Amino acid sequence: MIKIDLSKAIPPRLVTYLLGIIPGVFFETSIAIGNPHFAASVISRVRDIYPFGPYALLALFLASGLLIGQGFILGAWIADLLIASVFVLWRYAIRITFGSQWLYHRFAKLQFIPPKQTTFIRWLGRVILWARGGFSSEARPVLKCLHLAVQRLLKVRYGIDRTRIHGGQWDDSEWRVWYSALGKPLKGLQEASMVSRTFLGCGLAGLTALYASPALRGRYFIALCFIFTFAGCFTSVDLLQWKVNPVRRGMERLQSVLLELSEASAITERRDDDSSLGIDADEE
C-alpha cells in the first residue's frame, strides 16, 4: 500500500504566505456587501476588458485577496512588534520601580519594624520578589530534565560527550549558547503566532473596510472587527507572557529539545540497522 505524506510535499512556509488570503477575502467581501453596486461595476468592467469565465473570476478574486491580505498581515506584524515593545517597556518600568535595589533595601529594613507581618507587607514583598524576577523553585525540575535532554542530544546527534569535557561542568554562558542552538521550533507556538497575526489582520481589514464603505458602519460589523482585533492582541500578549514565564519557557525548550532528540535517535537507529544489514550481506 502506497502512503503519501502531503506535509512533506508542501513547502513548510507556503501556508504562512497563503494566510494573507483570509484578511484579504474578508476585506473584499465586506466591501462587496457594503457597496454591491461598486462590486457589480468592477466585475462588469473586468468582463468588458477580459472575457473571463466564472472560475477565472474566482481565481482573480482570490489572487487579489491574497495580494491585499499580505498588506494587512504586514500591518499585523508591525502591530505585533509594537505590542512587544510596550510589553518590554512595561516590564522594564516595573523592574526599575518595584524591583529597584533602593526599594528592596527599604523593604528589608521595614520588615524589622513592628508589626512585622501585615497584609500590606506581605503583598509588597510578593510584588518586589516578582518584579526582581528571582529564580522560580518550580522551574528547577524542568531545568534538570532539560540538562539531561541537552546532554543526550549532544551525544546522540553531534557526538559531543560533555561528561568528559571539564568534568561535565557547565557555566552560564555555555548554557545559554546550547539553549539557543539546540532544539526544533514547536509547531504549536508557530501556529499560535500565525493565528494571532491572522486575527489581527482581519481586524485591520475590517476597520479599513469601515473607512472605505460607510454602509458597513453598523454595530454588529464594528463589534466583529473589534473582536478580531482583540483576539489578535490577546494572543500576542499571551505568547509574550509564555516567553517570560520561567516554567513555561523551560517546558517549551524541553519539548523542542526532545523533538530533535527523537528525530536524531530515529536516524541513528536507521543507520545502525542499515549497517547491520550490510554486514550480514557481506558475511553471506
Quote the pLDDT of residue 26: 93
Residue 119 is part of which domain span?
A: 98-134
Q: What is the pLDDT of residue 16?
A: 73
CA distances from residue 67 to 47, 170, 205 in whole angstroms, order as listed? 21, 50, 13
Pairwise CA distance, residues 226 & 15, whole Å:
25
63 shares a domain with 173: yes
Q: How far apart are CA 175 and CA 146, in angstroms?
A: 11
Domain final residue, candidates 134, 152, 184: 134
Asked, for residue 282, whether it belongs to a domain, the answer is no
Same domain, 72 and 153: yes
Does 8 reside within a domain?
A: no
Question: Is residue 159 within 8 Å of residue 188, measured between CB atoms?
Answer: no
pLDDT, one tens digit per residue, over 51-64 is: 878 888 888 889 99
Position 199, amino acid: F
The answer to whether residue 5 sits within a structural domain is no
- Quick one: CA dihedral 133, 136, 140, 145, positive or negative? negative
CA pair distance 66, 74, nearest whole angstrom: 12
Domain contains 280: no
In a domain, 165, yes or no: yes
* Residues 60 and 130 occupy one common structural domain: no
Same domain, 264 and 191: yes
Check if the beta carbon of residue 146 is closer than 8 Å to that of residue 257: yes
The answer to whether residue 214 sits within a structural domain is yes
Domain co-membership, 119 together with 169: no
What's the pLDDT score for residue 13? 67
pLDDT of residue 135: 54
Longest dimension (CA), the chain: 89
Task: Tell whether 256 is covered by a domain.
Answer: yes
pTM above 0.85, yes or no: no
* C-beta of residue 235 within 8 angstroms of C-beta of residue 195: yes
Number of folded domains that form the chain: 2
Residue 281: its pLDDT value, please? 47
One digit per residue, pLDDT tens: the chain, 284 residues? 455 555 555 566 667 778 889 999 999 999 998 888 888 888 888 888 878 788 888 888 899 999 999 999 999 999 989 998 998 888 888 777 777 777 767 766 665 555 456 676 677 777 777 666 655 667 778 778 878 888 888 877 777 766 655 555 556 567 667 767 787 777 777 788 888 999 999 999 999 999 888 888 888 999 999 999 999 999 998 888 877 777 788 788 888 888 888 887 877 777 765 555 555 444 55
Give the pLDDT of residue 1: 44
Instruction: Let me know whether 177 and 217 are in one domain.
Output: yes
Do 140 and 247 belong together in one domain?
yes
pLDDT of residue 160: 73
